[in-house]
Amino acid sequence: MTIDDIIDFTGGLDGVLTLAPGPGDGSPEISWGDTFFYHAPDGTVPAAAQPFATIVTKDYPGEPSARLDRPGAFRVNIAAGREEFVRRTGRAPQDPAVAEEDHGLADTVMPHPVYGSAGWLAVVNPCPRTDDTLRELLRHAHGLARARHERRRDR
């Protein structure tokens, strides 16, 4: 899957707002070139919600390297939630991470190098092996975000 494939798929889910920060929009320069997906049926960034998925094109300061400085490298990050995290990794999000884990391993579903403890999963350079799984995870994370949005709206 390419970045554009992922943007098209995720942006096509119901009520998704896709943000792609860039020069002149007031966003921090570190975020330029990355993409953030929110469940926002009204088209505005939710004040009290994080994105349910992101695409990053560079390693962020303070994160273990995923070697995203390689040409064409990127990582898809998904707020999968506890149950899906356990299903995909075999461990609970709060369990200690595997110290020798290779965060740059391509086409593999793995805990996010920083936000794994919050139930986030990641895939570097998704290819055919993870294509269907990534789509399932994005639909699932979108469903969780939509449910949170509806609970907040109904308060």
Phi, psi of 149 (to 5 degrees): -60, -45
Q: Which pLDDT belongs to residue 99? A: 67
Q: Tokens 């639909």, residue?
A: 139
Could you tell me where the DSSP H helices lie in 1-127?
Answer: 3-11, 81-89
Could you give the CA distance from residue 90 to residue 142 in angstroms, rounded to a whole number?
22
**Euclidean distance between the first and the last CA atom of the chain, given in angstroms as a whole number:** 39
**Chain segment 65-108, per-residue pLDDT in tens:** 899 999 999 999 999 999 999 999 999 999 987 767 899 999 99
Cβ distance 94 to 112 under 8 Å? no
Given this model, what pLDDT does residue 97 score? 76
Q: How far from 42 is each of 17, 129, 140, CA to CA, in Å? A: 9, 35, 20
CB count within 10 Å of CB 60 equals 14
Q: Residue 34: pLDDT above 90?
A: yes
pTM, 2 dp: 0.94
